[in-house]
Amino acid sequence: MTFFEKYTYRQKKVALLIIIVLLGAAAYKRAFSVTLDQLALNDELEQKKNEAQNSVQTLKNKTLQLNQVNKVIGKENVPNEIVQHSFLSFVKNQDVNLIVNSIDEPHQYQHPDFIINTNKVTLKGNYLATTSFIHQFETKFNLGRLVSLRCFKQKNRSTRKEELLTTLFFQNFSE
């Protein structure tokens, strides 16, 4: 006589069903749930990886845009004293016959996000030297951008000759 003969088929089926359910639960707990969790984690990590790659690309695009803006408006976050000294050095290094007649105190416009420094410089010299210098200034001076230009004649009282004066307004930006 065997151990299972005293139970009916119905009791054996119920026991078998309970054993199958317990084995299924144990298999789910030990193998399937871990696999499903790992698949969900893998999907989440893939999304984060894509976001990171997109953010790197976005950062590269922003850097490129910032470089383009800096080319248009000049380098940012350079102290205005350095900009003025660089301007004087730039005038000195050019082979044009110009004299810096005056440099006014810079005007500052404060915006919540940035500061605009407007520099006013008056140069004395002839027309050809002035136009040559302006061209060199616009193409090679990268610490500020020319925003306005005014040429006028003024009579020199000591020599009694008229002189050409050019007032340049250029701006640089800082945060």
Q: Per-residue pLDDT tens for 108-142?
A: 888 887 788 899 999 998 899 999 999 999 888 88
Beta strands in 28-174 (DSSP E): 98-103, 107-110, 115-125, 145-156, 161-174
Q: Can you list the positions of beta strands (E) in the chain?
A: 98-103, 107-110, 115-125, 145-156, 161-174
Radius of gyration of the chain (CA): 39
Structure confidence at residue 73 (pLDDT) = 64
Average pLDDT of the segment spanning 36-57: 91
How much is the average pLDDT of 48-60? Answer: 90
User: Could you give the percent of the chain with pLDDT greater than 90?
Assistant: 29
CB 82 within 8 A of CB 90: no
Residues pairing with 151 in the sheet: 166
DSSP-based three-state secondary structure for 137: helix
Q: Rounded distance, CA 52 to CA 83, Å?
A: 38
